[in-house]
Each structure stands twice: as C-alpha cells, then as structure tokens.
C-alpha cells in the first residue's frame, strides 16, 4: 500500500504535532508558513563485495517536506530494509523536535528515487515515536512491520514498535533492559540495535547486534533464544 500525492499537513498532522511542526517552519514573504515539498538528497555507498571497493551514489527523495530536517546535526540515522517484493524502505529521523520525528521512504530499488510514504507526523501513524533514536526496520514472515529503537528514559534503552501495514504504528514499548550480561559475569550498556535473521521462510531473528560503551565504542553480538 502506498500513500500517494504530496504531503498535506492540514489533513495529515495530528493536532498536537501540528502545533509542534509550526515552530521554526521557514516563512515566505508575507509571513505565511512554507509547506512546500522539495527534492532532498542523501549519499549511499555501495560495492559489489562487502570488502569493497565502495562508490558513492547520490540518491533523491522527491517529496521531502521543506520544513523537515535530517536529525540533530545531520544525524538522521537511516535504516534501510529490502522488502520481500524487492522494493526498498528506509526509516530515518526528521527532527520534529529533539528525539522526535520519524519517516519511512520507499523506492522500487536501492538507487531510488525515493518518496515519503509514512511518518509519525501523519494522522494515521497513531502511535508516538518520541524520545527514541537509531531506528532499525524489518518485516516478519506474516508481513507485519517492526522497528527497534534506542529508547530514552529509565526503562530503556531497547524500544520496539509494531505495525500491520507500515503506516499505522503502536507506541514504542520496552523490548529489553539497560544492561546485558557477559559470559564472564560482567555487564555492558547498549545502543544502536540491529538484528541478524535466519534463512527463509521463517526469517527468525538469531542475533542482536548492539554498540556499547561510548569510550571504547565496540559492537557485541548476542545470540537470541525464543521462548517455547
């Protein structure tokens, strides 16, 4: 399912989000808010093999709202996903306010061009995607959509949201706690989660990859076990 046409905040923004979106919106002469959509660009680095060499590709988003940003300091944290039907989706920050604003863009293939198909600023998103960052997007074998986040607050850092169609989403709820155990008895803090999946047709998540420790900046892979 696709959302067609240009983004129209008068019809699609929730009331409280509309108030937030008006703040800091560029103004046209005469004081009217600038609600245009623009062609935005971002860079994809690609290679035939994982070891490289890598080349840069300038991809386009054809209907990016002019008042959306690219996350704090350009840190929009894009997470791409290739759907089983071959299309490519990417979830990223839009900086509605600090740690708020998520959008999903779509292209027929990875070079693009991309279009915005869903956003937490659209009325049909339903759930809240505030106080989160670093999204990771995937679709399970039933065709249901999921997103993992780095979740702020005392019950973080693992947040999870669910959608049946990629357009209407749940609130972000806790998926795992602040600390993860190590084999030697120690513990470590985590952020920027990603999943490794098993083979078709199950595509069951097998490992959770997380960044850890801001000072030494390493990655840990945690095997996952399913409850029976």
pLDDT in tens, 130-147: 888 889 999 988 889 999
Radius of gyration of the chain (CA): 19
Q: Which residues contact 194 (CB under 8 A, 6 or more apart)?
A: 136, 148, 208, 209, 210
For position 15, what pLDDT does the model report?
A: 40
pLDDT at 30 over 60: no
Q: Over range 17-44, report the average pLDDT.
A: 59
pTM: 0.77
Q: What is the rounded distance in angstroms from the CA atom of residue 24 to the CA atom of residue 46? A: 35
Q: Over range 76-83, report the average pLDDT.
A: 88
Q: What is the rounded distance in angstroms from the CA atom of residue 102 to the CA atom of residue 21? A: 13
pLDDT band at 221; cut points 50, 70, 90: confident
pLDDT at 211 over 90: no
For position 72, what pLDDT does the model report?
A: 57
For position 157, what pLDDT does the model report?
A: 75
Q: What is the rounded distance in angstroms from the CA atom of residue 110 to the CA atom of residue 81? A: 10
For position 28, what pLDDT does the model report?
A: 47
Neighbours of 66 (CB within 10 A): 14
Largest CA distance in the chain: 65
């Amino acid at each position: 399912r696709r959302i067609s046409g240009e983004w129209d905040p008068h019809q699609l923004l929730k009331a409280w989000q509309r108030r937030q979106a008006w703040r800091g919106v560029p103004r046209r002469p005469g004081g009217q808010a600038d609600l245009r959509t623009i062609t935005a660009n971002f860079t994809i680095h690609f290679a035939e093999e994982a070891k490289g060499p890598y080349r840069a590709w300038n991809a386009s988003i054809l209907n990016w709202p002019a008042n959306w940003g690219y996350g704090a300091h350009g840190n929009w944290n894009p997470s791409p996903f290739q759907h089983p039907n071959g299309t490519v989706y990417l979830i990223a920050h839009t900086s509605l306010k600090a740690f708020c604003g998520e959008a999903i863009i779509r292209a027929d293939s990875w070079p693009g061009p991309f279009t915005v198909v869903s956003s937490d600023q659209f009325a049909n998103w339903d759930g809240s995607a505030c106080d989160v960052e670093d999204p990771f997007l995937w679709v399970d074998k039933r065709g249901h959509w999921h997103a993992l986040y780095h979740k702020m607050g005392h019950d973080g850092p693992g947040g999870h949201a669910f959608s049946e169609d990629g357009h209407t989403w749940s609130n972000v709820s806790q998926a795992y706690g602040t600390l993860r155990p190590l084999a030697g008895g120690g513990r470590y803090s985590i952020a920027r989660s990603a999943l490794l999946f098993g083979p078709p047709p199950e595509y069951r998540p097998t490992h959770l990859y997380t960044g850890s420790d801001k000072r030494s900046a390493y990655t840990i892979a945690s095997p996952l076990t399913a409850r029976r």
